[in-house]
Amino acid sequence: MAKKITLAAALTAIASAAPAGNPMVGGAPMYEQKTIVENAVNSADHTTLVAAVKAADLVDTLNSDGPFTVFAPVNAAFAALPEGTVETLLKPENKAMLQKVLTAHVVAGDWSAKQIAEAARSSADGFYHFNAVSGDALSAQVKGNSVYIYDESGNASKITIADVDQSNGVIHVVNSVLVPK
C-alpha cells in the first residue's frame, strides 16, 4: 500500500533539496541562469565595472559560454585608485590598457572559493599561484576565514562575497582592483 505524503511534507522535502541560491549583490538578486554581464548590470555596487566592461568591448566575451571566474571589484575599489585613473582608462585611446586591467580579474574555469582556498592551503608556500586571462600572475591566500587574491605587485584584494554562480561561470566580489604590471 502506498504511503500518503502530506502537501506540507512534500514542500518541505522539495525546499530542503533545493540549492541555497545565490547571495544578493549590490542590492540585486543574482540568477544562476543569467550570464556574468546580465547579472552584473543589476548590481548597484558594480556600475563602474560594468561601464569599464562596456568601454573595453568585453561584453560579448563575458556573455560567452566560458566558464569564467571573475574577481569583480566594487565601485569603492575603483574609487580608491589614484585620482583620474578610472577616467583615463575609460578613454577610447586607452582601450587596450583597460582590457588588460579587466582581464587581470578573469580566470579560465569555474573556481569556487572553497576550491581556491583548498589549493592555497595545500601548497608548500600557502599560496595558490595561477594566471589571469590577461596572462598576469595571481596568487590566492587564506587568512582566517577569508580568501585574498594578490596581483603581481603584491596588492591584496579580499573576496567579500564568494560563489555567485552564473550560467557561464562564477563571480567573487572583491574589495580592491587587481592591477597588472
Mind listing the pLDDT tens digit for each residue in 7-34?
Answer: 444 344 433 333 458 888 988 888 899 9
- Give the list of residues 6+ apart from residue 14 with CB closer than 8 angstroms, or none: none
Residue in the structure block whose three cell numbers are 604590471: 181
What is the pLDDT at residue 67?
96
What is the pLDDT at residue 171?
95
Q: Which SS3 state, helix, strand or coil, does residue 165 take?
A: strand
What is the pLDDT at residue 9?
45
Per the structure, the complete domain to which residue 115 belongs is given by 23-174
Rounded to whole angstroms, the Cα distance separating 78 from 138 reads: 19
What is the pLDDT at residue 2?
47
Question: With pLDDT > 90 as the criterion, what percentage of the chain qualifies?
Answer: 78
Q: Give the length of the chain.
A: 181
Phi, psi angle pair for 37, to nearest 5°: -70, -40
The count of domains in the chain is: 1
Q: Quick check: is 10 in a domain?
A: no
3-state class percentages of the chain: helix first, strand second, coil last, to nearest 5: 35, 25, 40
Average pLDDT of every residue of the chain: 88
Q: Quick check: is 34 in a domain?
A: yes
Note the pLDDT tens digit of each residue in 113-167: 999 999 999 999 999 999 999 999 999 999 999 999 999 989 999 999 999 999 9
Rounded to whole angstroms, the Cα distance separating 151 from 121 reads: 18
CATH number of the domain enclosing 139: 2.30.180.10
Q: Are strands 68-73 and 169-174 parallel, antiparallel or unpaired?
A: parallel
Confidence tier at 1 by pLDDT (50, 70, 90): very low
Report the Cα–Cα distance between both ends of the chain, in Å, rounded. 71
CA dist list (Å): 41 to 15, 64, 178: 29, 16, 20
What is the pLDDT at residue 20?
53
| Residue 44 DSSP one-character state | G
Inter-residue contact 102 to 86 (CB < 8 Å): no
Q: Quick check: is 65 in a domain?
A: yes
Q: Quick check: is 59 in a domain?
A: yes
Q: Quick check: is 180 in a domain?
A: no
